[in-house]
Amino acid sequence: MKKKVFLSILILAFISTLFASEKMNHKDFFVLFNHKIGESYKRIELLNKKSNLAKLGKEEVIGKISGKINYQAKISGLGGLVTIRYENFCDEEGWVFNGEIITRGKITGNGNFDGKVDVSGLYNASVYFDKVLLGNNLPCEGSYGVAFAGESRLEVPYQAYFEKYTDTSF
């Protein structure tokens, strides 16, 4: 009898660990999001040109599973304006992007981001870009907003942009 009870408890404990999932924190989610959305940037040919002038123009990228990306880069004043718009874009099961990222940059490499991207699938969250400043064409100040569905927005320091996501099980 004791063996059956022990075995039952052991089996229940094993099953509960299989189905238990610890909620990802905001910073770790942002690092994973940045990795996943960065994969989509590789598919935008204009964005990957070497010279800034060569990056100007419009391009549409069709998702491998669904949706599309609309990329537009144009001269604006003494700098540039880049808009990357995601419309139900999905290249990988569990990662659907909707929204836009807007980059306003000056010739000096300074500028700012704006916009919001909603993520659905494995995670349901929004990432906000409205508090990030650019220096030398990279994030240099501010924070990214991250809000899981039904929760308040929390700020993630801009330095998280530079962290590499190492777990490839997603």
Q: With pLDDT > 70 as the criterion, what percentage of the chain qualifies?
A: 85
pLDDT of residue 167: 67
Query: Phi/psi class of residue 115: alpha, beta or left (left: φ > 0; alpha: ψ in -120 to 50)?
Result: left
Q: pLDDT tens digit string along 7-58?
A: 444 343 343 333 334 579 999 999 999 999 999 999 999 999 998 899 999 9
pLDDT tens digits, 126-155:
999 999 999 998 999 999 999 999 999 999
Report the alpha-carbon distance of residue 46 to residue 95 in Å, rounded. Answer: 23
- Tokens 């801009």 belong to residue: 158
Q: Is the pTM of this model over 0.85?
A: no
At 91-134, the pLDDT tens digits run 999 999 999 999 999 988 899 999 999 999 999 999 999 999 99
Sheet of 79-92: strand order equals 57-62, 66-76, 79-92, 95-106, 111-121, 125-135, 138-148, 154-157
| Tokens (6 digits) for 96 | 């659907």
Report the pLDDT value the prediction gives residue 166, as an integer from 0 to 100.
79
C-alpha 76, offset from chain centre? 26
Per-residue pLDDT at 154: 97
Which burial class, exposed, middle or buried, applies to 30 when counting CB atoms under 10 A from its CB (0-12, 13-18, 19+)?
buried
Q: Tens digit of pLDDT for each residue in 151-168? A: 999 999 999 999 988 765
Angle at 54 (CA atoms; ends 50, 59), nearest 5 degrees:
110
